[in-house]
Chains A and B, each alone.
Chain A
Amino acid sequence: MSHPGLDELREWDDRVVGLVDAFGLECAPQEFEICDHNDMLGYMAYSGMPSQYPHWSFGKAFEKQKTLYDHGVSGLPYEMVINSDPSLAYLMRDNSLGLNILTMAHVYGHNDFFRNNSTFVDTEPQYTLARFKSHAERIRSYVEDPVAGPTAVEATLDAAHALALNCQRNMSLRKTTRSEQQQRAIDMSTPPTDPNAAIHAPLSKEDPDLSRIPLEPEPDLLLFIRDYNPYLAEWQKDILTIVHEQAHYFIPQMETKIMNEGWASYWHYQVMSELDLPDDLRIEFMINHNQVIRPHPGGINPYHVGFRIWQAIYEREEGAGPIDHRRRDAGHHALFAARESDRDSSFLRRFLDRDLVRDLGLFEFTEKGRDTVVSKVADDQGWESVRDTLVASVGTGSLPVIEITDADFQGSRHLHLVHRYQGQELELPHARATMELLRTLWGRDVFLDTVLNEKPARLHCSEDGFSAESTDR
């Protein structure tokens, strides 16, 4: 469709793409959709997906964004791009030409990152849109099915959402099948071959209980419930599968937020610097760019932190002189290697050195009563701790690890779970509400072993209520 605005954008896009290619980025085909700010609010609520299943939480997200926007608290993201092939991004009609050119350059950065970072390797981007559309259609059909209906579907979705992120988060580990686990159990119970077997008393061999469910602690809560609760209807099992799949799709984005935004910011900066811009657009670019990567005092701006780290990676190889990314120099190689191999936690651990921690003004703080107190600063003694705390808090590191250990606890088909405590305790009201949702999905009582007030405790959720008891003996 020929449109004076669109034609101008296409022209600039050609120039941007020329530079993107010259710099060595490898992008999937890119599509831009021009929308107004209402559409953008809509897309934000649905993570940019054109199709998504119905749920009130999306309505809430929309209202929240709209409130913030209406009150001028948060501007709309000038960019929204999804991990798909072809890649789909949105540009706001109301934005100026300069901002839209910057957005396009930024989007290509994301496009390249999605395509080349190893965390995204299993996300099957060529099926993204079709997959989400299929999810939407299936769930809508359950809503309209008299056997299921909107209330039951909503209840199942509410519970599934609560547990969605409790899944295997390390994508590179392949899920072992039950028969593999059984084999492992057998192997482990077989005593090692003893060269002196002839003279030793035979070592006792304990037969493993191969019927135990699960044989090994299970981190994928939704999939487990789907497979081992025989009282779920088929449509409920499908919903659990759908929610799990979507969580799996989005987790790589959670794990690489700083790297990804930094990467896109770094390349939008390189491209805009190289583009032959008229003066007014150049000034506008500088203003917008600085706005995007300005530090958020007291918080972490992923655009800022990421951008500075990528800059540092290049400068460590090539120094701080003028940059020509058409050359494949050592700095260039360092950038592209990290773009492929890392996720935020390793990225920060590898590249945040003392100077960078200090330059970024990173500091650690905790809450003590009603006060927020600085606990570590970027001096010789404290900077590593600051870095380590940040590393532990990015991506899914901030989420508790909870695994199912027994599906037949106390012989009554009660579900027993364990929280892998590593110094951070669960938030109790949330845990209580989540366990209640878990109980509705499982159908029987739920037990969770955790640590409360630095002592071992067991949380129990039954039909009659909730209790938290210390199991310290």
Chain B
Amino acid sequence: MGATFRPASRESSDRSAGDRLRHRQKVRRSIMDNIGDIVAEESIIGRSGDQVVKVPIRGIKEYQFIHGKNQPSVGEGAGDDLAEGDVIARKPGDAAGKPGQAGEEAGVDYYETDITLDELIDMMFEDLNLPDLERKQMSSIESLRNTKRKGYRKVGLRVRLDRRRTVRNKIRRSLSTSSRTDVANDERVPFRAEDLSYRHRTTEIHKESNAAVFCIMDTSGSMGTTKKYLARSFFFMLYQFVARRYEKVDVIFLSHDIDAREVTEDEFFHKGESGGTFVSSGYNKALEIITDRYHPDLWNVYAFHCSDGDNFASDNPSAIKSAQELCDACNMFGYGEIKPQRATAYGNSLSTFSRPSPPPISTRC
């Protein structure tokens, strides 16, 4: 009575694909609901689109009638010294932790799922309700394709068949394999596959030179999750916009209050300073770095500044002057203002910015 052994049938290899897809769709809805947290917390700028982001989300709950948690349970492994009343575990005190902390509620299971950055971008666009036109601009891949002729090949597309050369090949062949001299039209000599000659074309993608993106953020005052989300998605989308057009993109993060510092992405989003605001410090720092490392003749420079609009009035003239210089140095300079709901006097800053004319400055509130 031996057992039968057999190798796995190949068809069972991805039977779960359909169910996983359907589950993924449900999860996507759940991600959409949480997207603010995800984008605020993840280091997503500077990543390529197909990179995978691990997203902790709640599993889609499956319900049934169950008992509540205050029921006694039994475990094994007690030593002789364990006595009634001993506390063997204690939940951490403050439940108001970071998002993504393991849930305590009954039946909540947190686990990770993978989504690609492209999927995340799509979801963000959906969430932000951009009209189609802008979305297309942001997501289209700009490829400057030139087709250059590059010789001939024996295989190719029918439309590229070079008839003259093909006939010449045939004549050459039949001449060399027979003694006839007037073979061209007198008799039907069939073509052979080896006679066929196709024009060969290569696509040449016009390689742009490198790009540098300056992200300048005003870190005076507090930036809560929503503001971070807005700032982050602002920079993220602009970065993606640029990244899709260039081979190599450098990202430089500058945070400023009265002084400007070059920081890492993490610090950029996580350190909140307080204090006054000299917007010009940020611009000047950017200009400094440009002169140092990213000469506009060699680099395509983009600069984007995010602020809450509260600049010291005394700084405005020098801010505008620096902004003008930046405009000259950059392909595009963008300014975004994050406005709290109860906005007070900042109309000042905005209006002074709208005075300098080309290159265009985009504003988004």
Contacts and interface: CB of A to CB of B under 8 A. Distances in A.
A237 interface: no
Given A371-B89, A377-B78, A437 B63 contact: yes
Interface of A is mostly: mixed
25 contacts: A13-B2, A14-B2, A31-B4, A38-B13, A50-B12, A54-B19, A54-B22, A55-B19, A56-B22, A56-B25, A58-B19, A59-B24, A296-B75, A296-B76, A300-B74, A360-B76, A363-B82, A370-B91, A372-B89, A376-B72, A386-B74, A427-B106, A427-B107, A430-B66, A434-B64
A390 interface: yes
A429 interface: yes
Given A372-B90, A374-B84, A297 B3 contact: no
Nearest to A391: B74
Contacts of B25: 56
Contacts of B5: 6, 9-10, 13, 31-34
B60 interface: yes
Contact of B67 (A21, A361, A366, A427): A427
A21 B63 CA distance: 44
Given A10-B3, A426-B65, 17 more contacts: A10-B2, A32-B6, A34-B6, A39-B12, A46-B15, A59-B20, A161-B64, A299-B75, A361-B78, A364-B72, A365-B88, A366-B73, A378-B78, A389-B72, A399-B65, A400-B65, A402-B65
A295 interface: yes
A370 B64 contact: no
B67 A425 contact: yes
Contacts of A338: none
Given A298-B77, A393-B74, A427-B67, A63 B113 contact: yes
A458 interface: no
Contact of B8 (A39, A63, A165, A300): A39
A375 B72 contact: yes
A253 interface: no
A38 B107 CA distance: 27
B347 interface: no
A367 B193 CA distance: 82
Contacts of A210: none
Contacts of A378: 78
A433 interface: yes
Contact of A63 (B7, B65, B75, B111): B111
Interface string B105-138: 1110101110000000000000000000000000
A402 B82 CA distance: 37
B77 A361 contact: yes
Interface string B11-41: 0111110111111111000000000000000
B88 A62 contact: no
Interface of B: 1-9, 12-16, 18-26, 59-79, 82-91, 93, 105-107, 109, 111-113
Nearest to A417: B65
Interface string A278-302: 0000000000000000011111110
B261 to A, nearest CB: 36
A429 B106 contact: yes
A161 to B, nearest CB: 6
Contacts of B14: 42
Interface string A28-42: 011111111011001
A163 to B, nearest CB: 7
Contacts of B113: 63, 67
Contact of B16 (A45, A370, A376, A429): A45
B84 to A, nearest CB: 6
B64 A430 contact: yes
Given A14-B2, A30-B3, A62-B20, A297 B75 contact: yes
Contacts of A45: 16, 19
Interface in A127-175: 154, 161-166
Q: Sorted from nearest, which 8 A-B pairs have the closest CB atoms?
A: A59-B23, A297-B77, A59-B19, A59-B20, A35-B8, A372-B89, A30-B3, A363-B78
Contacts of A42: 12-16
B203 to A, nearest CB: 37
Contacts of A431: 65
Contacts of B82: 363, 374, 377
A376 B7 contact: no
Interface core residue of A31, A35, A36, A372 (most chain B CB under 10 Å): A372
A374 to B, nearest CB: 5
A57 B61 CA distance: 9
Given A377-B83, A400-B67, A56 B26 contact: yes
A17 B2 CA distance: 7
Nearest to A448: B65
Contacts of B84: 374-377, 382
B75 A430 contact: no
B67 A31 contact: no
Interface in A19-77: 21, 27, 29-36, 38-39, 42-43, 45-46, 50, 54-60, 62-64, 67-68
A343 interface: no
A373 interface: yes
B63 A162 contact: yes
A304 interface: yes
A365 B12 contact: no
A348 to B, nearest CB: 10
A430 B2 contact: no
Contacts of A350: none
A104 interface: yes
B8 A36 contact: yes
Contacts of A104: 3
A39 B86 contact: no
Nearest to B81: A377
Nearest to B83: A377
Contacts of A43: 12
A200 interface: no
B74 A374 contact: no
A54 B86 CA distance: 47
Given A60-B23, A62-B19, A402-B65, A362 B76 contact: yes
Nearest to B22: A56
Contacts of B3: 10, 13, 17, 29-32, 104
A56 B60 contact: yes
Given A42-B16, A63-B111, A34 B1 contact: no
Contact of A64 (B4, B24, B59): B59
B57 to A, nearest CB: 10
Interface string A67-110: 11000000000000000000000000000000000001000000
Contacts of B4: 29-32
Nearest to B63: A433
Interface string A297-324: 1111100110000000000000000000
A428 interface: yes
Nearest to B26: A56
B83 A301 contact: no
A424 interface: yes
Contacts of A62: 16, 19-20
A372 B74 CA distance: 12
A205 interface: no
Contacts of A59: 16, 18-24
A298 B19 contact: no
Nearest to A52: B15
Nearest to B18: A54
Contact of B73 (A30, A63, A389): A389
